[in-house]
């Protein structure tokens, strides 16, 4: 699972209503701005710049948009469960309904990559993703995202 140092209950959007990829990113960046003290615009612009390199829709209805910013103090994430899946230009063509935004300092280097890998590994578990899709309760989603698994074979 994800460590509680990566996200918190305030960073969970349990039933985000959006119609497009851009709208989803904008709403999630707005929450990231509130939590981090950065402006929504600077986070949004950095995420869109990264999306131009290639979609962060990783498949099976999951997207992990991410960016690095100089003003960020530490790596943090925002999780959103979308009410309705949206086209995210994922390679498998499956619309996305689970989004985890990762924001890191420009100096994060390998820690940024390790966090991305950890998030991808957690969300690749179809059973886990199904449980996330089945709930709209912030506390339950936060618990699922941060509790240690009983066993986790790599």
Q: Which residues are catalytic?
A: 66
List the Cα angle 4/116/10 in 5-degree steps.
Answer: 35
Residue 87 to residue 24: CA distance in whole angstroms: 10
Give burial (CB, 10 Å; 0-12/13-18/19+) of 49: exposed
* Residue 66 near residue 19, CB atoms below 8 Å: no
Q: Which residues pair with 102 in a beta bridge?
A: 66, 77
* Residue 11 near residue 5, CB atoms below 8 Å: no
Q: How far is CA 100 from CA 49, 59, 62, 81, in A?
A: 17, 13, 8, 9
């Amino acid at each position: 699972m994800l460590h509680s140092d990566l996200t918190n209950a305030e960073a969970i959007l349990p039933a985000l209503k959006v119609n497009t990829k851009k709208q989803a990113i904008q709403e999630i960046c707005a929450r990231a701005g509130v939590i981090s003290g950065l402006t929504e615009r600077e986070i949004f612009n950095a995420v869109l710049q990264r999306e131009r390199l290639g979609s962060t829709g990783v498949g099976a209805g999951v997207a992990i948009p991410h960016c690095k910013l100089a003003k960020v103090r530490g790596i943090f994430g925002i999780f959103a469960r979308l009410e309705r899946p949206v086209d995210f230009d994922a390679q498998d063509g499956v619309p996305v309904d689970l989004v985890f935004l990762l924001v890191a300092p420009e100096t994060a280097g390998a820690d940024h990559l390790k966090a991305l890998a950890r998030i991808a590994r957690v969300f690749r578990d179809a059973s886990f993703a199904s449980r996330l899709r089945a709930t709209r309760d912030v506390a339950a989603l936060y618990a699922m995202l941060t509790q240690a698994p009983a066993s986790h074979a790599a």
